[in-house]
Amino acid sequence: MSDVAIPAVPESRLQSHFANEQQQYETATFGMWVFLVTEIMFFGGLFTAYLFYRIQYADAFVHASHHLDIVLGTFNTVVLIGSSLTMAMAVHSARMSRSKSIAFWIAATMLLGSIFLGVKAYEYTHKWHEGLFPANFFYSAPDAAQQRIYFSLYFAMTGLHATHMVIGMGIMVIIAWQALKGAYTSRWYTPVEIMGLYWHFVDLVWIFLFPLLYLIGRH
């Protein structure tokens, strides 16, 4: 193939069970897509439960949805979409072999992620005090029992989403550190790219969660 123009691969990058770098790269990215399919199925169970109760208890879900702060929700959505942009910039920097720039954009992504989680924590505390946390539920309304199902799903879905963000940010620390050490160049930056896929997936989950949880019956 075109092995004349491309500089030799550092020995340590090519794992011994692969025939060549191309195979290694394709395996890694294909693997990530398969992993994301498992993630879709993982969240899928929750979305199914949501759909089922949303149809069954449509009014209660609208009422419960009004407890959420739409301003904070919208703010967080913008923050998270912004973090997808910074993540894309990190991948772009890797493609350009700019090590410091990779670390900078990853740090920016982590900052935005932290803002999101901070706002989320504030919202959670607020719900707790209002008696809307399902395990500590003392909100009273005619359809309070059904609203409790909504909040069970709300905490399960957003909690699982937040857990994914925390895991992602943990991995980002390692990748940013590696980037500063000059591990990624245009020749090889698979971890950055895979990290990007993961982060975009997590954002995408939120893009579904936001309208389903915050925007019911607000048209």
CB of 62 to another protein, least distance (A): 15
CB of 161 to another protein, least distance (A): 12
CB of 15 to another protein, least distance (A): 8
Taking the C-alpha atoms of residue 36 and residue 204, their distance in angstroms, rounded to an integer, is 11
CB of 126 to another protein, least distance (A): 18
Taking the C-alpha atoms of residue 170 and residue 175, their distance in angstroms, rounded to an integer, is 9
Of the pair 149, 179, the CB lying nearest another protein is at 149
Of the pair 49, 62, the CB lying nearest another protein is at 49
The counts of H helices and E strands in the chain are 6, 0
Taking the C-alpha atoms of residue 70 and residue 219, their distance in angstroms, rounded to an integer, is 12
Q: At CB < 8 A and 24+ separation, what contacts does 31-36 make? A: 32/194, 32/197, 32/198, 33/197, 36/197, 36/198, 36/201
Question: Contact 43/205 with Cβ under 8 angstroms?
Answer: yes
CB of 42 to another protein, least distance (A): 4
CB of 64 to another protein, least distance (A): 12
Taking the C-alpha atoms of residue 213 and residue 150, their distance in angstroms, rounded to an integer, is 9
User: Contact residues for another protein (CB under 8 A)?
Assistant: 15-17, 19, 23, 26-27, 30-31, 34-35, 37-39, 41-46, 48-49, 52-53, 56-57, 134-137, 145-146, 148-149, 152-153, 155-156, 160
Both tokens of 175, joined, read 């990748």
Cβ-count burial of 69 within 10 angstroms (0-12 exposed, 13-18 middle, 19+ buried)? middle
Of the pair 30, 122, the CB lying nearest another protein is at 30
Of the pair 20, 186, the CB lying nearest another protein is at 20
Of the pair 109, 147, the CB lying nearest another protein is at 147
Of the pair 40, 78, the CB lying nearest another protein is at 40
Q: What count of other Cβ atoms lies within 10 Å of the Cβ of residue 144?
A: 16
